[in-house]
Amino acid sequence: MSETAHPGGSVLAICRVHQIAATKTGFGVTAIDKRPVAGPVSLRRYGVFGDLQGDSEHHGGPDQAVYAYSQEDADFWEAELGRPIPPGLFGENLRTQGVATTDAVIGTRWRVGAALLEVTSPRVPCATFGERMAEPHWVKRFTQAGRVGTYLRVLERGKAQAGDAIVVEHLPSHGITVGKFFSDPTAADVQRLQALEESGELTLSQHFYTRFPKILAKSGS
């Protein structure tokens, strides 16, 4: 952990599942309907206490324990879509303000209330997200905009609530953000991330090892 904390932001809302719903896309059930909760809530190894995922094969787990989306990116979509984007609409657990989510450097650590979280990987939009938004070509539009937010793992469990500061306790120097890796990954990015994991400076999620071969093949490496 860095000895010097960096400027951060704040938590506007902490969200968890409101109700489970059947999907129309044939994937079973979904817990994407998340809404703000009042008061302190525990952030644990598998996420916000009381939250869950309908499709645990493709969502959730320790490396996708918490999904954060910034108000700044939500404001972009409000202007684009001409409709409110309230906290939880995108299935996020944290609606933040004043701290990078899409532009968060992989491996960045946030102190949120008593919990310590670590930036892991970008959100990849799916058909269930498209169904929830009911906007034409939503998955393609969300992908092209590149405002994907970030997943986080919980390094230290603890309670947090709306209004808490988000303090950036560790900011890696490699500079590769979740947004960069989602929208424009290069062979050099792959090699850098692999080297950092081999040195023990990063712990990469499975998301990266799923994409690494495709990125290297595209670059001819």
3-state secondary structure 33-60: CEEECCCCEEEECCEECCCCCCCCCCCC
CA–CA distances in Å: residue 72 to residues 7, 69, 177: 16, 9, 17
Task: Identify any residues that bridge with 15 across adjacent strands, giving them in sequence order.
Answer: 36
Q: For residue 15, what pLDDT is reported?
A: 96
- Report long-range pairs for 15-19 (Cβ below 8 Å, ≥24 apart): 15/48, 15/87, 15/88, 15/92, 15/93, 15/94, 15/95, 16/41, 16/48, 16/49, 16/50, 16/51, 16/93, 17/50, 17/51, 17/52, 18/88
Whole-model pTM above 0.85? yes
Q: In 39-177, where does DSSP find H-type helix?
A: 71-81, 127-133, 138-145
Are 94 and 112 in contact by the 8 Å Cβ rule? The answer is yes
Question: In 3D, which of 132, 120, 133 has the Cα closest to residue 62?
Answer: 120
C-alpha dihedral sign at 3, 120, 112, 98? positive
Q: What is the arrangement of strands in the sheet containing 47-48, beginning at the earlier edge strand?
A: 47-48, 41-44, 158-160
Per-residue tokens: 113: 């209330």
Q: For residue 22, what pLDDT is reported?
A: 78
Note down pLDDT in tens along the chain; length 221 residues.
344 677 789 999 999 988 877 777 666 878 788 999 999 999 999 999 988 765 556 566 899 999 999 999 999 999 999 999 999 999 999 999 999 999 999 999 999 999 999 999 999 999 899 999 999 999 999 999 999 999 999 999 999 999 999 999 999 999 999 999 999 999 999 999 999 999 999 999 999 999 999 999 988 76
Q: For residue 21, what pLDDT is reported?
A: 79
3-state SS class at 18: coil
